[in-house]
Every structure is written in structure tokens, then in C-alpha cells.
Structure 1
Amino acid sequence: MNDRPLSARVHRSGTVLGAAVVLVTAGVWAAHHGVQAATYGDETGSRLAAVWLITFLLLLTQTVMYHCERPRRVSPRARRQLDALHVAVLLPVYNEDEGYLRLGLQSFLAQTRPPDSVHVVDDGSTSGDYASVRAWWTQAAAAAGIATTWQRTPNGGKRHAQAAGVRMSPHADVYITVDSDSCLAPNALAEVLLPFARQRVQSVAGVVLATNHRTNLLTRVMDLWFTTGQLTDRSALSAMGAVLVNSGPLAAYRAGVVRDNLDSYLHETFLGRPVMFSDDSLLTLYALLRGRTVQQPSAVVFTALPEKASHFGRMYMRWMRGSTIRSVWRLRYLPLSGWPYWAHLLRWFQVALSTAVLGWLLVVEPVRYGHTPPASFLVVPFLIGWAQALRYLGVIRSDERMRERAVTWLLMPLAVIGGWTWLRAMRWYGVATCARTGWGTRQNGAEVALAAAAPTEPAAHDTETTLQFALPTR
């Protein structure tokens, strides 16, 4: 097994903000030009102009908000207090590729702030028993001074596997939830704990990057789309202490958030059916009901993305069904006096508005009134997409040169087209079929495996806040 260094850092720059504002402004001009140039009547043109103005005001507001997010920094005294906390990692495993599982466990050993305990729960995997990985990990954890347990339980779902880990660590102060393909950057745990220096913070999300982002066109576009979403939408919410959904690959919770809600977490039902997914968003909801939920952009984790469209489609459908169920609970339980309630409502307003405008321009206007949308309208979504994806260019990885990331950035129109067509249809289908609460992936074994890769020359970049770890190849 060979090692090659991999590093990444999230870079903040006023240049990125300026460029984003310029591209959004260009989008405003293009939309205005399109309305003026079209043959719409005065009434329709005025309505369209009002819709575009509202849309761009929301975008500009979000752009300013996500640039207000700052990684939390603490005093030496506060850091000592955080170091004294018992941090327990919950790692559920089900039909995972052994290469990714071992890679993730190795990353725990390399932490600058090691976890106090790691609790691995094999949730009745059918593709193997991980005997060799278990033997290696038990010995390696003992040598590193990390308390660990490894259980194999009958298949009950991810939540029950996490609960088994919670019961093995009843005295933990903080629970770290990770996925079985998560690989933490060396200071990920140290960084994800820092926001807990503020007592009101109840959960912290890490930033998720792809381990296999260069596998094919799908993984490149997914990495672009997923990273951009975290560093725009979630960063904007984080600035207000109102992150709505943490990511499974890395999230931290005050222990009380998990322990006090464990029974309802395990027995959630919707329309009389047990809910098997959307576990991260439910834990985030519990945290929101107690205080602030934030993202720590300097806490980085790498994960495996789906490499086939069918795998991605099943995963995304699970997300959309879970999002619908969680929206119902947010409307019911979040206080109207808090920003999270209105941020959640605003998100659905944007989805409904954009869907209505798309349908009006592409169907109603041509069919009913004989008006074809001007070509300038096609430019607007791409300009907005490129503006937001500038945040993707702000993530510096040592396994890629900037020109390679720039090429991926140029692929944003593919993500925009997919988002406005396939993903939008899946979102509304997910709303309509939210009562289907099964998991839907990895039932027949691991769908993504850790492939061999040749070492590449690291790209030159600044060393500020560099996150490094060794990525084994087979």
C-alpha cells in the first residue's frame, strides 16, 4: 500500500465576492434585457420584471451572508476546555467497501486532536464481516490510546446502529457522526469542536469534499454542485446560526442533543410508517430546538460520491423524500420567532417560484400566447451558477492544479441544466412519494469501491490552514 499526500483548504477572498456580485449583476442585466426585448404585454412584462428583481435580491442577500461566515477561533483557555471533553465517534457500517472503511479508520489515528472513543457498529452487513479490518483496527486503536468497540448487530438501519454506539459511550460530552466512507482531514476533529466554545451552539457541520471526484463526468459535476451548495446555501444559514441539515460524513452534536432524543430518533414515523432515512436532518432539528447550528468551514472530510447515475438517482430521491418529511416537522416544531423557521419557508418559496416561472416561460407563454422566451433568458441561470460556483474555486486541493478545478467550474451549466430538469422533477416526485420511507441504496453490497490511483505532483499553493492526510492506493 502506497501513500500520497492530499491536502485541501477553503480559501476566502474578497475577489471571489466581487466576481460573484459582477456575475449576478450581469444576470440582472440579461434578465432585464430579455424582458424588454420580448414581445410580452406590459402586464406580463411587469410581472416577469418583478419576479426577476425578487430573485436577484434574494441571491445578492445570500451572497453577502455566505461571505459573512467565519471559521470559529478560540483562546488557548477555551481550547483546553474543549480538549477536556470526551469526544465519541459513532461509525455505522453496512455493506461498505473495505478499502474506504479502512481509509476512514486510518484518518482517526492521524487526528491532531484524537477522539476519545470510536464505536463501530456493523449493522448486519451481508457482503462480509470485515474480520481483517476489525483485527487491524482494534490493535491500531489500542496502540494509539483510543478506546474502541466493534459490534455486529441485526440489520435495523443506520439510526439503530448509531444508538448502539451511543449506549457504549454514555459519558460522552460530544458525539461525532461519520459515514463508513468518511475520511477526516488531520485537524477535522479539532476544528469541528471549536464552535462548541459558545454554549448556545448545539451542532456543527463539517465541509464535505469528494474522494473520487475525478472518476468520471458525473462525479466531477456532483462534486462541483455539492461543494458549491455547502459553501453558499449552508454557509449563509451558518452565518445566522440556522443550518438546517448537517452532512452525514462529518457532524458534531452536544451529547444531550442525541441522548435526550434517542427514543424519538429511533421511532420516528410518518403517515404510520417508520422513517429509515433523513437521520442527519432530524438530529439537526433537535439541535435547532436547543440553540444554534453552524458550519465550521475549516473542518474538512472526504467522502465517496456515487459513480453511476442510477446510484445517484436513488440517493437523491431518498434526500428529497426525507426533505419533505423534515419540512413538515420544521413547520410544526420550530418557533415562528426564530430565523430557522423563516429560512426554511423562504427556501420552499424559492423552489416554488422558480418552478412556476420555468413552467410559465417554457409552456404557458409559447402555447397560450405564442411568445417564445428570448435567448438571453438562457444565459441568466448559467451566470448565477458560475457566480455561486466561484466558491468551488476557493477550495484548494493538492491533488489538483487550479486549471483542473477551473475546467470543472466551467461545467456548471451541466449542473444547472440537471438542476432545472432532472433534479427538479425528482424533487417534486419525492414530495409526492414521501411516504416511501425505505433506504434504497447499498442493499446488494458496496456501490463504490476505493480504486487504485497513481501519485500526482502536488499543486503549489499557500500553506495557510492546510489540511493533509495520506490517501492509500491499492
Structure 2
Amino acid sequence: MTAPRPLSARVHRSGSVFGAAVVLVAAAVWAAHHGLQAATYGDETGSRLAAVWIVTFLLLLSQTIMYHCERPRRVSPRARRQLDALHVAVLLPVYNEDDGYLRLGLQSFLDQTRRPDSVHVVDDGSTSGDYAAVRAWWTRAAAAAGIATTWQRTANGGKRHAQAAGVQASPEADVYVTVDSDSCLAPNALEELLLPFARRRVQSVAGIVLATNHRANLLTRVTDLWFTTGQLTDRSALSAMGAVLVNSGPLAAYRAPVIRDNLGSYLGETFMGRPVMFSDDSLLTLYALLRGRTVQQPSAVVFTALPEKASHFGRMYMRWMRGSTIRSVWRMRYLPLSGWAYWAHLLRWFQVALSTTVLGWLLVVEPLRYGTTPPASFLLVPFLIGWAQALRYLGVIRTDERMRQRAVTWLLMPLAVIGAWTWLRGMRWYGMATCARTGWGTRQNGAEVSLAAAAAPDSPPAPDVDSTLQLAALPIR
């Protein structure tokens, strides 16, 4: 029986110029249309709405230009040799993880074109099993591959404490790579992830996150579309300025002092007198921002398991929104006013407040107080903008999926737009109001997604065409 080919994705920039042109044309049409329609409300209201559309168009225009300025980092042979000399340690916390996903992720370390120097697995007091078979296999496989490894089992203290145990076991590390236990790296992910560190100012690097189980059901398809498009627009725009605000848990790299020097505050973070159990990736990114540049490497790809049930997704997103509120307080307090990251963060909250206010005005205030309703085109244009930005999603080339299958998912963008404007928007504000609830809240009864249920990849078809892999906008976290 032949082993399945590793999951992989690659980048090709041939569609970037076309995608940028479509987005800018759509944005211009959107702004012009809204400006004309605003005039029908009368002089006072019309002028206010016209100003809103102009501001929104300029924000969209600037973001589009910025995310197309992002480029995968490339280095000289000399710089590559220097990077190869670094000790790269992988931190892998495990808690009630599915054995199949855990083994898939560990196998991906063995398949790397640039293998890690050490891997530190920390079982954070799992209650659903001890991973004895996986541990025995991994210990033998890592030794045969020349990868130093440790496997600890600790009392349950949360992800941060599990990572800290890995840090303490690897004092020789130059770079720490944080990976989730349900993540599987593309074969060249670590090699690509290290390249931005050739610049001394770069303190952390985010990878591109794709879904392993993206075809499990409608929810995973739409989530993969929304999540990938978000990374390839918003985060790519921030990366072009060296100001990524949130790295992804499935794959990120940090210069070792970023974590070591802040380990005490990382483990002891409290908010309103309560220990914070989530938003660890955004806190590590904040530490990195305070030291230099934080970027994304769009050629470093990782695959991870997405929630397959609405309840699981809701708990994950609520954790993100509560974490984003806490993290916003720290960014306002600690980020320097002279840095782009501070103003980028402030601008994102301005966009959230503006869009919510405009939506409420058009759908509630105008009809009830003035007897005017927005034309149907007001509801259509956001879908067109969504489709235009999601052309970035079609740039992703995967070894386990044909382009026509991705095109079908791309057509689902209206569902992502509707979800973002309704369910997720409500959860965002509820998360802000309940940010003092700082517990983790998932996997308490075992793994919520299993590799068997997701149908592990095997004999993937050859891709139809080349395209581009980059990341778009993440929600504020």
C-alpha cells in the first residue's frame, strides 16, 4: 500500500494584476453608485451618505493597493546558509486531539524540505487518551530523521503553559515555530517560513492557513472561503507594512527572545483580575511588534481542521472576539504612536463602527423616521465586492482539489457576506460585552473533529491550472 502524497499548495502570481483590476473597478462602481443614490435622500442626508461612500471607497482602494504589494520573501545563497544554521524548535501543545490529525501533523515535519532541528510535544493533561501509539511511532521516526524531540505530559494548565514547557526544554533555539496539534505543514512550509528572518528587523512570520477538511460540509466550505480571502486581503495589506497584528496558531515563527524574554507576562496575563486562557497568538504577535516588523510569508502553507458544526464554530469565533477586545486594550496602551500597527489597528475599529452605523441607519433610521428605503442595489453591491476580493481564493492551488471545485466554493461568497453582516457581527458585539469570560471552552470532552470523519487526503488529483496563493482579511482579534 503506497503512502498518500503530502498535502501541498503553491503560489503563482499570474492572476494578481487581473484580480486587482477587478476589485478596483468594482469598488469604483460601488462608490459611484452609492454616491448617486445618496443624492435621492435629500441635501442633508445625501451629503452625509456621499461622504461615507467616499471614505469607504478610499479605505478599500488603499487596502487593495497594499495587499498587492506583498511579495514572498526571497534570499541570497549566503543568507540561506545563515538561516540553515539557525536552531529551529517546534512547539506543539496537545490537548484532547484526534490521533489521526496529530500523526498527520507530525508526519509533515518529517516531510519538510528544511526539517526542524527539534520538536517539543507537550500533552497538556489530555483526558481522552495518552497517544501511546503515536508517541512510540514519532519517537522512532524523529530519531531516524535526525530530529531531536521531547514528549512531556503535564497537568492541564492551558496552551500557554504547554508552550512554555517546550520553551524550557529547548534553551538552544534561535527560532520558535508554534504549530497547532491539528495542523499539517506543506512540504516546504518551514523553509519558506524562515526566509523573512534574513532581515534583522523581522521578529515574527505568519504562515498561510488552509483547511484540511474544507469539503466536509457547507459550513467548512464557506469558512475556508471567508478565512482564506480574509488572510489574502487584510493580513497581506498589513504584512506589506510590516505590521501584521495577529499571527495564526496553526503556523507562525518567532525569534526566540520574543518568547523567552516575555514568558513571565505571557503566562501571567490577566484581564479584569482573571487569567486569560486564549488569544495567545495575538499576544505573541504584540510582543514581536514591540521589537520590530511582523510579516506574513504567503508561500509558507499549513493545513488545519476547521469546525464542522455551528456550535463548535460559534465557540471558536466567540473566543476570537473576546480575545480581540482584550488585545485591543493592550495595543492602545503599548503600541507606539509612531508605528503603522497602532494606526492600522485603530482604523480597523473605525471601519467596524462605521459599517455598523451605516447599516443601522439605512435599514432602521431611514425607513422609520424618513420613510425612505435603500434600493435593492445597496444589498447587491456588497456581494459583488465580496466576489471580487475572493478572486484571491481562486489563486490557491492545492494538490487535493481541482480548480473547478474551488470555483464552486467561490460562488458561495454571498453566504459568507450574509453571515459576516448578521451572525458574526452580532457575535462580535456580544464578545466585546462579555470579554471578561476568559476561559478556553473547547475540547473539554475530546476532539471535536476527527481525521477519519474528514476523510484524510489520498491520491489527490493533479491541479488543473496554476494560480496564486496568498492570504486575506482576518477578523479583528
Pair 1:261 & 2:246 matched:
no
Paired position in structure 2 for 1:392: 393
Residue 405 (structure 1) shift: 1.2
Residue 461 (structure 1) shift: 2.9
Residue 5 (structure 1) shift: 5.1
Partner of 1:222, secondary structure, is helix
The one of 17, 22, 27 equivalent to 2:25 is 22
Structure 1 stretch displaced more, 402-411 or 160-169: 402-411
Aligned letter for 2:464?
A: A
Cα distance in 1 between the residues matched to 2:178 and 2:404? 34
The 8 Å contact of residues 27 and 379 in structure 1, kept in 2 or not, is answered as no
Deviations 1:19-74 (A, max 9, x none): 221222222233234324x4x12110110111011001100100000000000000
Partner of 2:451, secondary structure, is coil
Aligned letter for 1:60?
A: L
TM-score, normalization: structure 1? 0.96
Cα distance in 1 between the residues matched to 2:237 and 2:467? 26
Residue 254 (structure 1) shift: 0.2
The 8 Å contact of residues 10 and 396 in structure 1, kept in 2 or not, is answered as yes
Residue 3 (structure 1) shift: 1.2
- Report the RMSD for the aligned CA atoms in angstroms: 1.4
Paired position in structure 2 for 1:358: 359
Cα distance in 1 between the residues matched to 2:12 and 2:225? 16
Paired position in structure 2 for 1:468: none
Q: Which runs of 5+ in 2 are unaligned?
A: 470-477
Paired position in structure 2 for 1:187: 188
Partner of 1:3, secondary structure, is coil
The 8 Å contact of residues 176 and 255 in structure 2, kept in 1 or not, is answered as yes
Pair 1:374 & 2:378 matched:
no
Deviations 1:422-457 (A, max 9, x none): 100100111000000000111110000002356442
Cα distance in 1 between the residues matched to 2:90 and 2:196? 17
Cα distance in 1 between the residues matched to 2:364 and 2:25? 31
Partner of 2:299, secondary structure, is strand
Cα distance in 2 between the residues matched to 1:30 and 1:407? 28
Paired position in structure 1 for 2:463: 459
Cα distance in 2 between the residues matched to 1:464 and 1:318? 31
Paired position in structure 2 for 1:472: none
Q: Percent identity over the alignment?
A: 84
Structure 1 stretch displaced more, 76-85 or 447-456: 447-456
Matches within 5 A, 1:273-292: 273-292=274-293
Paired position in structure 2 for 1:51: 52
Cα distance in 2 between the residues matched to 1:361 and 1:461? 43
Cα distance in 2 between the residues matched to 1:271 and 1:456? 49
Tell me the number of residue pairs that the alignment of Structure 1 and Structure 2 aligns. 463
Partner of 2:378, secondary structure, is helix
**TM-aligned CA distance change 1:27 to 1:304, over 3 Å:** same
Residue 11 (structure 1) shift: 2.9
Paired position in structure 2 for 1:307: 308
Cα distance in 2 between the residues matched to 1:341 and 1:5? 39
Paired position in structure 2 for 1:471: none
The 8 Å contact of residues 398 and 460 in structure 1, kept in 2 or not, is answered as no
**TM-aligned CA distance change 1:464 to 1:344, over 3 Å:** closer
Partner of 2:246, secondary structure, is coil
Residue 464 (structure 1) shift: 9.7
Cα distance in 1 between the residues matched to 2:232 and 2:158? 30
TM-score, normalization: structure 2? 0.95
**TM-aligned CA distance change 1:183 to 1:6, over 3 Å:** closer
The 8 Å contact of residues 397 and 467 in structure 2, kept in 1 or not, is answered as no
Cα distance in 2 between the residues matched to 1:16 and 1:388? 8
Cα distance in 2 between the residues matched to 1:31 and 1:464? 32
Partner of 1:461, secondary structure, is coil
Cα distance in 2 between the residues matched to 1:406 and 1:29? 29
Cα distance in 2 between the residues matched to 1:337 and 1:456? 48
Cα distance in 2 between the residues matched to 1:212 and 1:219? 7
Paired position in structure 2 for 1:383: 384
Partner of 2:8, secondary structure, is strand
Deviations 1:70-101 (A, max 9, x none): 00000000000000000000000000000000
Deviations 1:108-161 (A, max 9, x none): 000110000000000000000000000000000000000000000000000000
Residue 409 (structure 1) shift: 1.0
Paired position in structure 1 for 2:232: 231
Residue 8 (structure 1) shift: 1.3
Cα distance in 2 between the residues matched to 1:463 and 1:141? 34
Partner of 2:135, secondary structure, is helix
Aligned letter for 1:366?
A: P
Paired position in structure 1 for 2:433: 432
Q: Which runs of 5+ in 1 are unaligned?
A: 466-474
Paired position in structure 2 for 1:73: 74
Partner of 2:32, secondary structure, is helix
Pair 1:327 & 2:328 matched:
yes
Residue 459 (structure 1) shift: 2.0
Deviations 1:269-322 (A, max 9, x none): 000000000000000000000000000000000000000000000000000000
Aligned letter for 2:108?
A: S
Paired position in structure 2 for 1:32: 35
The 8 Å contact of residues 403 and 464 in structure 2, kept in 1 or not, is answered as no
Partner of 2:390, secondary structure, is helix
Residue 172 (structure 1) shift: 0.3
The 8 Å contact of residues 33 and 376 in structure 1, kept in 2 or not, is answered as no
Aligned letter for 1:458?
A: A
